[in-house]
Amino acid sequence: MATSGSILGNPVRRVEDPRILAGEAKYFDDLEPTGCAHVVFVRSTMAHAKITGVDIGEAASMPGVLAVHTKDTLALEPVAGMMAPPAFSRPPLADGVVRFVGDIIAVVVAETRAQAVDAAEMVVVDYDPLPVVVDAEAALKDGAPLLFPDHGSNVAVDFVTMGATADPTILDGAEVVVSGRFVNQRLAPVPMEPNGILVEPGDTVTITVPTQGPHGVRDPLAPVLGLEPDKVRVIAPAVGGGFGAKTGAYVEHIVAAVLAQQLGRPVKWTETRSENMVSMVHGRGQIQDVDLALTKDGMFQAVRCKVTQDAGAYSQIGAFLPFLTRTMAHGVYEFPKVELTAISAVTNTTPTGAYRGAGRPEAAAFLERIIDMAADEIGMDPIEIRKKNFIPPDKFPYSTTTFANYDVGEYAKSLDEAVRVAGYDQLRADQKARRESGDVKQLGIGVAAYVEITSGGMFQEFGSVEVKPDGSAVATVGTSAHGQGHETTFTMIVSDLLGIPMDKITLVQSDTAVVPRGSGTMGSRSLQIGGSAIYRASEGVLEKAKVLAAHLLEANVDDIVLHDGGKVGVAGVPASALTWGELAEAAEDASRRPDDWEGKLAAELDFNQGEATFPFGAHIAVVEVDMETGRVELIRHVAVDDCGKVLNPLIVQGQQHGGIAQGVAQAMYEGVVYDEDGNPLTANLMDYAMPSAAEFPSFEASNTETPTPLNPLGAKGIGESGTIGSTPAVQNAVVDALSHLGVRHLDMPFTSERVWRAIRDATPA
Amino acid sequence: MAELPVTMSVNGERHRHIVEPRKTLADYLREDCALTGTHLGCEHGVCGACTVMLDGVAVRSCLMFAVQAEGAEVTTVEGLAKNGELTPVQEAFREEHGLQCGFCTPGFVVSVHAFLEDNPRPSRDEIVEALSGNLCRCTGYQGIIRAVERAATTMGGAT
């Protein structure tokens, strides 16, 4: 592949765009089948309380209301969390106790959404408040309020007893030890399209849902409905972003599906934004106690991190994510010893889950922060201390002590490039000059080098390619795009291998009725796994085409080649070569194909990469801090991300840009906040500071290309890299701007008030 | 609830419906006119996904009632392209990869149409300012800003 004349590597415009730009793309809420009823949930307004009474009488008598249910009339099995104690399972409708603001108490179904909203407001709930715990560390203290008293503690997952042994001697023999306590704050994913579901009952139940993987919604829903999976068809239509939060079946999906089945008519739930901010999983939420041991000349000896993870009220994927933080706790460095222990605790807050990066940004954040503190401590430049400790290129594949097997890495290559693009030495000179002149706007330069894991744990994906007698091709893939442009990238792959024009290739995805198996788009896996499945299936089709052409042309199969212009025939004899349409037609004609021919001109398989890939990169952020007001402005952001071979630079750059924006947003603006009673203070887009175009500079994003040997495309994931590299770069830049005052650490986000206080506290009175 | 008649022109077509006075223009367009290109991302006027043009001015259709648009000329994202031809603004969004999931895109595209009509030769700062009323979670806004620059150039070149 990628020979001269290859389409791969070119910035091909997306084939998805015209229908989106014209407003014709259909998202789930754009569908309104005849007779569709609407679901609205009655959610808890208290963070922790006994429910002493629910009066649904008036609501049930409201116009258009079809049903009002609490757990007394709609019995649903509690949903178990990932690796969590069974006691932490979540009843879809609260069973006597609510554990976070947003927990579901009752559900209303009505003819119209407005009627359902009206009725939901008439449901009267009596609460008996219970003590509230919103902080994961507080939740682990003796005497803390227990969310599940039967269990006896708030511990969801204890990674100490799961093989992550704590070594009390790990810092022994250190020349220098630096220690820090970092808060990696809770974030809201905020896909622009909130959650929801449309369920149409019938012999086969059809479910249209904004999800990153339709099979992952079908499999938990089918048993709840008492149906075999093949009687539940799940479709992901146009999906308005997910960022990790639109995976699996939400309890709301379960309730809506059961109601549709009971009522025998279509039922739709459309989440509002204020509902989304409390009911969709949140991300991050770690407190990290970190120690780094090093020699006086900057060689790392050991790193230790104790993570306290906030699982939220019902333990889900979030409780498990410190596992990925541990996997990546080695970073890009040759640590003789690495130790990450973690405890996940339930709190009276929204459950946490996967959000762009999911456990890996937290690893890069604590490593890059503590390394900067160490550099400050021993008086070494942050670039130098990093390069001194990088795993050298000749040591790959490299197995870490935290059970990661890095495929390829040239960490100095991306950092050197970032230094060059940023003009690092000049920036340092500018910083020095501003410090000396006492400029009101001080310059901060932040560096971060990272490695991350993509397609971790999910190595396999389905792919098929079929050529039709009209010369067109259909590719089917198990992943499911929700904005990533798979129709473009995957048809590029088929076109490149078969010479069929892109506009004659259709990608089929996101529908369990036509895609037999699939895991979906998460963990930056789709191109490397799904794309490779399409690549291998295309190869399979080409092999079959050669056999068929050899038979038809009475030639030796070894002499058959794919000619320019997409015809298959004898090498050097393009005139007799056959078109794809001719071949597909012959394949369906028993009189023209070989006797041992099987099936159509098609191939299908499951590509299994066997292990994960480890993209890497380096980011340099430049900030100006106003020393009088504490206002921080990000003035430059340089990113050099290495995702291996780049197939479509337009799409790769788009992933970089979006990732950087979300990572910068964590450093600068965003954070989910609860008061001590567990009331969410950031439950709409006025209060939650999701940035607009005005909050970012132009990003200077580029790539180095170190192909992975693990798949035929040489591709590693790019979906989350930007988020992982940018946050610590910006955080380091802000601390760097104040380091001459003696500031060694500041937690995110960098509100003017927080920075102003740090300046005030550091400045001698 | 008492209902009221409302008549308006949407994308050049006359629409007349009987609606509840509390129905937002956004819900009216989506439910009564079956024009689902206008999206709702926050329902409280922050994200701008529901932006439409009302008598040529960009407005958030989630923040006004359908009955307030009585007699108005409304243009939604569906009304921009003529005869299947994307507008220079839409083309520029595609050219510069100014969209990913596309949910916010109709709001951006409509806002940019209104903006470039008022300010055909904007500076980069003016573009950023104009875009700051719309939220996008996918693109980091980079491609969107470039798309507005490109559209301004294309459209300026044509006049």
- Mind giving me the DSSP string for A31-86? ---TT-EEEEEEE-SSSSEEEEEEE-HHHHTSTTEEEEE-TTTS--PPBPPTT--G
Q: Is the pLDDT of residue A549 over 90?
A: yes
Helix (H, G, I), strand (E, B) or coil at A624: strand
pLDDT tens track for A347-367: 999 999 999 999 999 999 999
Same domain, B94 and B62: no
The number of domains in chain A is 2
Same domain, A552 and A668: no
User: HSE (CB half, 13 Å, CA atoms) of A47?
Assistant: 23
Helix (H, G, I), strand (E, B) or coil at A287: strand
Helix (H, G, I), strand (E, B) or coil at A374: helix
Nearest to A192 among B31, B76, B137 (CB): B137
* Strand partners of residue B4: B19
Same domain, B46 and B100: no
Same domain, A586 and A461: yes
Of A592, A608, A624, which residue constitutes the final position of a domain? A608
Of B31, B51, B79, which residue constitutes the final position of a domain? B79
Q: What is the CATH number of the domain that holds B25?
A: 3.10.20.30
Same domain, A399 and A502: no
A483 to B44: CB separation less than 8 angstroms, yes or no: no
**Helix ranges restricted to H, A380-531:** 382-389, 411-422, 424-437, 486-498
Backbone phi and psi for residue A716, each to the nearest 5 degrees, phi listed first: -115, 170
pLDDT tens track for B78-129: 999 988 899 999 999 999 999 999 999 999 999 999 999 999 999 999 999 9
H or E stretch at A131: none
- Parent domain of B70: 4-79
A483 to B49: CB separation less than 8 angstroms, yes or no: no
Q: What is the CATH number of the domain that holds A484?
A: 3.30.365.10
Same domain, B40 and B65: yes
Same domain, B122 and B102: yes
CA–CA distance from A208 to each of A195, A244, A270, B71 (Å)? Answer: 11, 18, 12, 36
Q: What integer is the mean pLDDT of A162-181?
A: 88
Please, are residues A86 and A32 in contact by the beta-carbon 8 Å criterion?
A: no
* B20: chain A residues, CB-CB within 8 Å: 114
Return the structure tokens found at A599. Answer: 């099936």
CA B17 to chain CA mean position, Å: 22
Please, are residues A194 and A280 in contact by the beta-carbon 8 Å criterion?
A: yes
Same domain, B103 and B146: yes
Residues whose CB falls within 8 Å of the CB of residue A353, separated by 6 or more in sequence, listed in order? A244, A245, A247, A281, A282, A283, A316, A317, A318
The edge-to-edge listing of strands for the beta sheet with A124-129 is A97-98, A49-55, A124-129
Interface mutation vs chain B, best among A12, A15, A17, most B CBs within 10 Å: A17
Closest by CA to A726, choosing from A638, A609, A625, is A638
CA distance A717 to A644: 8
Residue type at A318? G
User: Measured between CB atoms, does A685 come within 8 Å of chain B?
Assistant: yes
pLDDT tens track for A553-563: 999 999 999 99
Relative to beta strand A337-346, strand A300-312 is parallel
Please, are residues B44 and B135 in contact by the beta-carbon 8 Å criterion?
A: no
* Residue position matching structure tokens 């009823």: A37
In the stretch 494-523 of chain A, residues with CB closer than 8 A to chain B read none
**What pLDDT does residue A164 have?**
62
Same domain, A467 and A584: yes
H or E stretch at A217: helix A215-225
Closest CA of chain A from B33, distance in Å: 12
CA distance A131 to A220: 33
Closest by CA to A39, choosing from A264, A235, A259, A278, is A259
Residue type at A177? V
Closest by CA to B151, choosing from B125, B129, B119, is B119
CA distance B104 to A30: 14
Same domain, A342 and A462: no
Q: Is the pLDDT of residue A455 over 50?
A: yes
Residue of B nearest to A722 (CA): B140
Same domain, A583 and A479: yes
**What pLDDT does residue A1 have?**
41
CA distance A650 to B94: 11
CA distance A84 to A159: 12
Neighbours of A141 (CB within 10 A): 11
pLDDT band (50, 70, 90) for residue A163? low
Of B62, B79, B96, which residue constitutes the final position of a domain? B79
Same domain, A421 and A476: no
CA distance A512 to A214: 7
Backbone phi and psi for residue B122, each to the nearest 5 degrees, phi listed first: -80, 155
Residue A424, in any domain of the structure: yes
CA distance A188 to A449: 25
CA distance A184 to A287: 6
Q: Is the pLDDT of residue A23 over 60?
A: yes
Q: What integer is the mean pLDDT of A672-698?
A: 97
Residue of B nearest to A17 (CA): B94
Residue A376, in any domain of the structure: yes
Return the structure tokens found at A382. Answer: 């942050």
Same domain, B33 and B63: yes
Same domain, A447 and A502: no
C-alpha radius of gyration, chain A, whole number: 28
A21 to B109: CB separation less than 8 angstroms, yes or no: yes
The edge-to-edge listing of strands for the beta sheet with B73-75 is B13-19, B4-10, B73-75, B51-54, B57-60
**What pLDDT does residue B157 have?**
53
Burial category of A370 from C-beta neighbours within 10 Å (exposed 0-12, middle 13-18, buried 19 and up): buried
- Provide the sign of the torsion angle of the four alpha carbons A313, A316, A319, A321, taken in this order: negative
Helices A649-668 and B142-158: crossing angle in degrees, nearest 10, is 120
Q: Is the pLDDT of residue A689 over 90?
A: yes
CA distance A691 to A751: 13
In the stretch 639-678 of chain A, residues with CB closer than 8 A to chain B read 650-651, 653-654, 657-662
Same domain, B9 and B60: yes
User: Measured between CB atoms, does A29 come within 8 Å of chain B?
Assistant: yes
Closest by CA to B21, choosing from B1, B7, B38, is B1
Q: Is the pLDDT of residue A266 over 80?
A: yes
Return the structure tokens found at A426. Answer: 């000049």
**What pLDDT does residue A41 have?**
98
Same domain, A410 and A551: no
Residue A593, in any domain of the structure: yes
CA distance A743 to A735: 7
Q: Is the pLDDT of residue A10 over 70?
A: yes
Return the structure tokens found at A186. Answer: 């809770």
Q: What integer is the mean pLDDT of A582-611?
A: 96
Q: Is the pLDDT of residue A4 over 60?
A: no
Q: What integer is the mean pLDDT of A309-326?
A: 95
Residues in chain A: 765
**What pLDDT does residue A569 have?**
97
Say which DSSP state A12 is in.
Answer: P
Q: Is the pLDDT of residue A411 over 70?
A: yes
The number of domains in chain B is 2
B132 to A690: CB separation less than 8 angstroms, yes or no: no
Helix (H, G, I), strand (E, B) or coil at A469: coil
- Parent domain of A570: 17-23+456-608
Closest by CA to A690, choosing from B104, B36, B125, is B104
* A722: chain B residues, CB-CB within 8 Å: 140
Interface mutation vs chain B, best among A526, A692, A695, A721, most B CBs within 10 Å: A692
Same domain, B68 and B115: no
Residue of B nearest to A486 (CA): B100
Same domain, A310 and A361: yes
Nearest to A192 among B47, B80, B94 (CB): B47
Residue A242, in any domain of the structure: no
pLDDT band (50, 70, 90) for residue A3? very low
A694 to B94: CB separation less than 8 angstroms, yes or no: no
Same domain, B98 and B144: yes
Residues whose CB falls within 8 Å of the CB of residue A749, separated by 6 or more in sequence, listed in order? A185, A666, A667, A668, A669, A670, A671, A689
CA–CA distance from A551 to each of A21, A547, A587 (Å)? Answer: 47, 6, 11
In the stretch 87-116 of chain B, residues with CB closer than 8 A to chain A read 90, 93-95, 97, 99-106, 109
Q: Is the pLDDT of residue A705 over 70?
A: yes
Residue A172, in any domain of the structure: no
Of A590, A608, A626, which residue constitutes the final position of a domain? A608
pLDDT band (50, 70, 90) for residue A84? confident
C-alpha radius of gyration, chain B, whole number: 16
pLDDT band (50, 70, 90) for residue B132? very high
pLDDT tens track for A518-539: 999 999 999 999 999 999 999 9
Nearest to A18 among B30, B86, B135 (CB): B86
Work out the percent of chain A whose per-residue pLDDT is above 70.
99
Residue A46, in any domain of the structure: no
Of A608, A643, A669, which residue constitutes the final position of a domain? A608
User: Measured between CB atoms, does A191 come within 8 Å of chain B?
Assistant: yes
Q: Is the pLDDT of residue A167 over 90?
A: no
Backbone phi and psi for residue A85, each to the nearest 5 degrees, phi listed first: -60, 140
Same domain, A507 and A588: yes
Closest by CA to A532, choosing from A714, A316, A729, is A714
CA distance A551 to A560: 10
* A34: chain B residues, CB-CB within 8 Å: none
Say which DSSP state A144 is in.
Answer: P
Q: What is the CATH number of the domain that holds B125?
A: 1.10.150.120
In the stretch 118-147 of chain B, residues with CB closer than 8 A to chain A read 128-129, 131-145
**What pLDDT does residue B44 have?**
93
Residue A582, in any domain of the structure: yes
Helices B105-118 and B124-131: crossing angle in degrees, nearest 10, is 130
Neighbours of A282 (CB within 10 A): 24
CA dihedral A718, A724, A728, A729 (to 10 degrees): 10
pLDDT tens track for A615-647: 999 999 999 999 999 999 999 999 999 999 999
Same domain, B97 and B136: yes
Of B79, B99, B125, which residue constitutes the final position of a domain? B79
Q: Is the pLDDT of residue B1 over 80?
A: no
Closest by CA to A376, choosing from A738, A730, A623, A625, is A738
A13 to B94: CB separation less than 8 angstroms, yes or no: yes
CA distance A517 to A409: 32
Same domain, B63 and B130: no
**What pLDDT does residue A162 have?**
61
Nearest to B76 among A17, A23, A193 (CB): A23
Please, are residues A302 and A336 in contact by the beta-carbon 8 Å criterion?
A: yes
Average pLDDT in chain A: 96
User: HSE (CB half, 13 Å, CA atoms) of A105?
Assistant: 29
Same domain, B75 and B95: no
Same domain, A445 and A462: no
* Strand partners of residue B9: B14, B73
